[in-house]
Copies of this chain bind each other. A is one copy, B any other.
């Protein structure tokens, strides 16, 4: 019997992935870029056990047994085994044993934070450790579980290159900067209260490719420009350009969602109130100090530098008053002393009460890791 436990991080894109050129292999229409978030605050933890006495494959997700009859799960398993077989790093008979997967997120699934990226990254990385091939290129395997999972295999800022080959072997993630390259960078996740039924991102993406007349133009013309500018800004630690491109790319992704028929609407009035807050904050500073980005849901991720965290949090707390403010459960992650925050600028007014569920204050972090 063999057993391996690993953790893998969540990632938040600053250049968004939206649209596949191959639904089966999960090949994207454009490159994307993300930051890997610290596993101290958000991660998936997966244990995989294999033994010749297991009569079938099993998976337990957050304490609940799920069906293994998931083609994406099966494909990831097969691909890792194929690679391990070719690499000859593992006894052939072990590759045939069934597996038992136990996986958990240290953040509530209800948070609306994409758990499929960290989930598939952790599954593929743990399998690779089990079979001794964790040092090989496995991002193209994780990609076949969930596209953005490939980006969760590296620390720091990561680019998913769309690739050109029909078999997808060049559609892989590469590290742009290590985790400690820009140590002042912070990410604040504002988890928004929302009642609406979610449109799955797989479904929305597929409808966008079929119906949006703007998506192709975005993928072919706009994203390559955004990516080049963002990578340049990252290398030069130019927050102003980094923040501007991040916001523009998020807005354009949601524009394409709205141009879909029927439209996919992920941001709500609270999300847009956060957008207004950010632009007003930056206007007051006459400089881009904080940038928003929104995935396929209403939650905001704010990118900013450590020095601006107190003032931004004070502004968020003023605009979004919350009964739970002050409780340690409301602002999670890197500790914040709420009573020590400065006063927010008087031009900001309070919105309705309790529009945010909670806040996560975190940083750029490391990739997957095997636990002892």
A217, closest chain B residue (CB): B217
Report if A258-B262 is in contact (Cβ < 8 Å); known contacts: A213-B222, A269-B269: no
Chain B residues with CB below 8 A from A222, complex form = 213-214
Chain B residues with CB below 8 A from A221, complex form = 213
Closest CB of chain B to A364's CB: distance in Å? 25
Asked if A275 and B263 make an inter-chain contact with CB atoms under 8 angstroms apart, the answer reads: yes
Decide yes or no whether A268 CB sits under 8 A from chain B: yes
Closest CB of chain B to A299's CB: distance in Å? 16
Over the window 249-267 of chain A, the binary record of Cβ atoms lying under 8 Å from chain B Cβ atoms (1 yes, 0 no) is 0011011101111110100
Residue from B225, B252, B269 within 8 A of A214 (CB atoms): B252
Cα-based distance from A217 to B221 in the complex (angstroms): 11
A213, closest chain B residue (CB): B222
Chain B residues with CB below 8 A from A217, complex form = 213-214, 217
- Chain A interface residue count, CB cutoff 8 Å, equals 28
Query: Chain A interface (Cβ within 8 Å of chain B)?
Result: 211, 213-214, 217-218, 221-222, 225, 244, 247-248, 251-252, 254-256, 258-263, 265, 268-269, 272, 275, 279
Cα-based distance from A109 to B222 in the complex (angstroms): 39
A273, closest chain B residue (CB): B196
Closest CB of chain B to A19's CB: distance in Å? 14
Which secondary structure dominates where chain A touches chain B?
Answer: helix
Report if A259-B269 is in contact (Cβ < 8 Å); known contacts: A214-B217, A217-B217: no
Could you list 18 A-B pairs, sorted by A, with CB under 8 Å?
A211-B248, A213-B222, A213-B252, A214-B217, A214-B252, A214-B255, A244-B261, A248-B259, A248-B261, A251-B263, A254-B258, A255-B259, A258-B258, A262-B275, A262-B279, A263-B275, A265-B275, A268-B272
Chain B residues with CB below 8 A from A261, complex form = 244, 247-248, 251
Cα-based distance from A268 to B267 in the complex (angstroms): 10
A225, closest chain B residue (CB): B213
Asked if A259 and B251 make an inter-chain contact with CB atoms under 8 angstroms apart, the answer reads: yes
Asked if A259 and B252 make an inter-chain contact with CB atoms under 8 angstroms apart, the answer reads: yes
Cα-based distance from A218 to B215 in the complex (angstroms): 11
Cα-based distance from A258 to B260 in the complex (angstroms): 14
Closest CB of chain B to A128's CB: distance in Å? 39
Cα-based distance from A343 to B58 in the complex (angstroms): 49
A221, closest chain B residue (CB): B213
Closest CB of chain B to A64's CB: distance in Å? 28
Chain B residues with CB below 8 A from A214, complex form = 214, 217-218, 222, 252, 255
